[in-house]
Amino acid sequence: MLSVPELKRMIKSYDELMKLKVPKGRVKRESIIKLIEDAGYKVNEDSSPPELRHIKTGKKMKRKPEVVKLKPPKVVSQEEKDKRKKAKEDKVKKESEKDEIIKTLRMEIAELKKQMKKRKPTNLK
C-alpha cells in the first residue's frame, strides 16, 4: 500500500507530461486515488516500481515524448556573406601561392642534385 507522499511523487512524475493536477497541502489518500481514477487510470501497487495503468485497456500510462525546440537560424547580412567569401578566397590564394613556392623549391633542389652528380669528386692526397 502506497503512502500519500509516494502517491504524490508518482503523480508528480506523470503530472509534468499528462497534466494531472494534485491539490497542494494536506490531502487524503482516498482523494488522490479518486483523482487518478477520474483521469481513467488505476494505481498498480503490486508492480515494482508502482505504476499507473489505464482502467479500460490495462496499458501503462505513456509519457509524452520530449519536444526539442530548435533555435531559429541566424540571419546573416549580405555584407557578412561577402566578408566570409573574400576571406575564403584569400585563404585559397595563399594556399596556391605556398604550393607554387614549394614546387619551385623542389625543382631547384632536383637541379642542384643533378649538378652534384655531374661533378667529379677530386682526389684528396
In the predicted structure, residue 64 carries a pLDDT above the cut 60: no
| 70 occurs within a structural domain | no
pLDDT value of residue 16:
44
Question: pTM for the full model?
Answer: 0.34
The residue count for the chain? 125
The position carrying cell 632536383 is 110
Clarify whether residues 47 and 86 are in a common domain.
no
Residue 56 CA to residue 83 CA, distance in Å, equals 64
In the predicted structure, residue 22 carries a pLDDT above the cut 80: no
| 84 occurs within a structural domain | yes
- Domain containing 28 equals 4-54
Residues with Cβ < 8 Å from 10, sequence gap 6 or more? Answer: 2, 43, 50, 51, 52
Q: How many domains does the chain have?
A: 2
Beta bridge partners of 54: 41
| 62 occurs within a structural domain | no
* Cα-to-chain-centroid distance, residue 23: 36
Clarify whether residues 86 and 124 are in a common domain.
yes
- Among the residues of 1-125, which ranges form H helices? 4-18, 29-38, 78-118
pLDDT value of residue 26:
78
| 39 occurs within a structural domain | yes
